[in-house]
Amino acid sequence: MIEKVLIVKYGEIAMRGNNRRLFVTKLVESIRRNIDSEGNFYVVREQGRLIVEDRGGEMDFDRIIPKVICVLGILGVCPGIKLTDQSMDNICKRALGHMQKFYGDKPTTFKVVTKRSNKQYPLLSNEVSAEVGGYILENMPNLTVDIHNPQETVFVELRNEAYIYSKFIKGFGGLPYGSSGKGVSLLSGGIDSPVATFMMAKRGVEVSGVYFHSPPYTSERAKQKVIDLAKIISQYTGGFKLYVVPFTELQLYLLENVPEDKLTIFLKRSMMRAAEKIAENEHAMALITGDSIGQVASQTMQGINAINAVCKMPVLRPLAGMDKQEIVDIARRIGTFDTSIQPYEDCCTIFVAKHPETKPKTSVIDKIEYKLTQLPDFLEKALENTEVIEL
């Protein structure tokens, strides 16, 4: 009996010695979470692979692949077939069927590669490859063999069962979500912060988001936009916790008490403090921001320095060295771009000065802030009234 299966390849985590079991378990969990609602699926562990099987009937690749490919830690997936009958005759026929389905009468060069994990198998790898290749070639005149530089490679894997596949659909790679501890990400609703959040999630960091809401200066729609972005990220992470911190009063206090051109620096320092408090409660170990060096006034080296001075936790800035276009490309790939560019103002831009300070001195900022005696109270109040949204 033939069964369509999805062969899931994971790269980096296969190498991680003792933690491998843990990582693979995480990966299986994540895949299951994404496809369980789609039908009766099994995820079978093979050596170095996961095999997704549809026990409810014939697998619909177009529907299932997108659900699996977005799981972090996966190198890529291969739509293929599983054979219980491992006779040479059967393998040849099924391999031909697979090729006819994918390549029809399109002129293509190919080769066959066999992996023989089942060392009991009567033929050697090369013998299997030659046999299968010969059979396909005989039956499909549009194909030619090219051992060195083939357009398509057909893989035959002989394990407990035999697997045949040729297409490889690339995933995001990285580590299984949640395998690297927790972080708290500052989400503004712009293009950068969702990308930064995704990049750390890709490295296995379990992320929560913090959004600073300043009604009436920022609208309900601006908040909804951040919730929508968090929802998109949650497709990769299988859930997302979003903290919404009311920041109006603190912001207005700053507006009345600090020099206009330095307002953003003070605002961002307060945001970092609030995020750090939330991170401590979450038992997180790092903050995450979407800063890209030199992109805006507060993201100069001096600006980052003055802002960073208030936190003890490490602040991860995965976009620090990236250009805007590179960030946009990722935002498009992960599907946050179109939501990010909706024109609702976020709390950082509403009172921004025409010519903000680009080279703030930390000592000067500290000195001014020392006089803002009510700032800690405003911060505490904001944190008390924080809303938590589970997505």
Partner 1 sequence: MVYFDNAASTRALPEVAEKFTQVLLSAYANPSSGSRLGMEAENIIKKSAQTLARLINAQSYEEIYFTSGGTESNNLAVFGTAKGYHRSGKHIITTQIEHPAITLPFKALEEDGYEVQFLPVDEKGYVNIDDLKNAIRSDTILVSIILINNEIGTVQDVESIGKAIKDANPNTIYHVDAVQAFGKYKIDVRKCNIDLLSASGHKFNAPKGLGMLYMKNRLKVKPIMYGGGQQKGQRPGTENAAGAAALALAAEESYKFLTESTKKVMEIKKYLAEGILNSIEDTFINGEEIDKASPYVLNMVFKNLRSPVLLNALEDKEIFASAGSACNSKKKVQSSVLGAIGTQEDDIVGSLRFSFTRFNTMEEADICLEALKELVPMLRRFHRKR
Ordered alpha helix ranges (H), the chain: 20-35, 61-69, 88-103, 125-139, 192-202, 220-237, 248-257, 263-281, 301-308, 324-334, 337-340, 362-370, 375-384
Instruction: Quote the least distance from Cβ 168 to partner 1, whole Å.
Output: 41
Instruction: Quote the least distance from Cβ 215 to partner 1, whole Å.
Output: 6
User: Token match 């491998």: residue?
Assistant: 20
Choice between 219 and 362, CB closer to partner 1? 219
The separation between the first and the last C-alpha atoms of the chain, rounded to the nearest angstrom, is 41
Question: Which residues form the interface with partner 1 (CB under 8 A)?
Answer: 215-220, 252, 255-256, 260, 342-343, 345, 351-354
Q: Burial code of 175-186, b = ≥16 C-beta within 10 A, e = fewer?
A: bbbbbbeebbbb
User: 10 Å Cβ neighbour count for 119?
Assistant: 6
Instruction: Quote the least distance from Cβ 268 to partner 1, whole Å.
Output: 18
Choice between 256 and 384, CB closer to partner 1? 256
Choice between 75 and 255, CB closer to partner 1? 255
CA 89 to chain CA mean position, Å: 42
Task: Compute the distance between CA of residue 378 and CA of residue 223 in angstroms, rounded to an integer.
Answer: 21
β-partners of residue 152 are 110
Which residue in 62, 139, 131 sits closest to 100, CA to CA? 139
Instruction: Quote the least distance from Cβ 233 to partner 1, whole Å.
Output: 23
Instruction: Quote the least distance from Cβ 255 to partner 1, whole Å.
Output: 6
Exposed, middle or buried by CB within 10 Å (0-12, 13-18, 19+), for 35? Answer: buried
Choice between 251 and 336, CB closer to partner 1? 251
Residues 6+ apart with CB under 8 A from 141: none
Instruction: Quote the least distance from Cβ 244 to partner 1, whole Å.
Output: 15
Choice between 122 and 216, CB closer to partner 1? 216
Choice between 102 and 351, CB closer to partner 1? 351
Choice between 15 and 353, CB closer to partner 1? 353
β-partners of residue 112 are 154
Asked whether the beta carbons of 183 and 284 are under 8 A apart, the reply is: yes
Instruction: Quote the least distance from Cβ 234 to partner 1, whole Å.
Output: 25
* Token pair of 227 as six digits: 């919730």
Q: How many CA atoms lie within 13 A of 134 on its CB side?
A: 8
Instruction: Quote the least distance from Cβ 225 to partner 1, whole Å.
Output: 12
Task: Compute the distance between CA of residue 118 and CA of residue 131 in angstroms, rounded to an integer.
Answer: 18
Asked whether the beta carbons of 215 and 366 are under 8 A apart, the reply is: no
Instruction: Quote the least distance from Cβ 370 to partner 1, whole Å.
Output: 24
Choice between 321 and 343, CB closer to partner 1? 343
Choice between 17 and 216, CB closer to partner 1? 216
In this structure, the strands spanning 76-83 and 169-170 are antiparallel
User: 10 Å Cβ neighbour count for 107?
Assistant: 10
Instruction: Quote the least distance from Cβ 285 to partner 1, whole Å.
Output: 36
User: Token match 């959004």: residue?
Assistant: 211
Torsion sign (Cα): 49, 52, 53, 58: negative
Choice between 283 and 355, CB closer to partner 1? 355
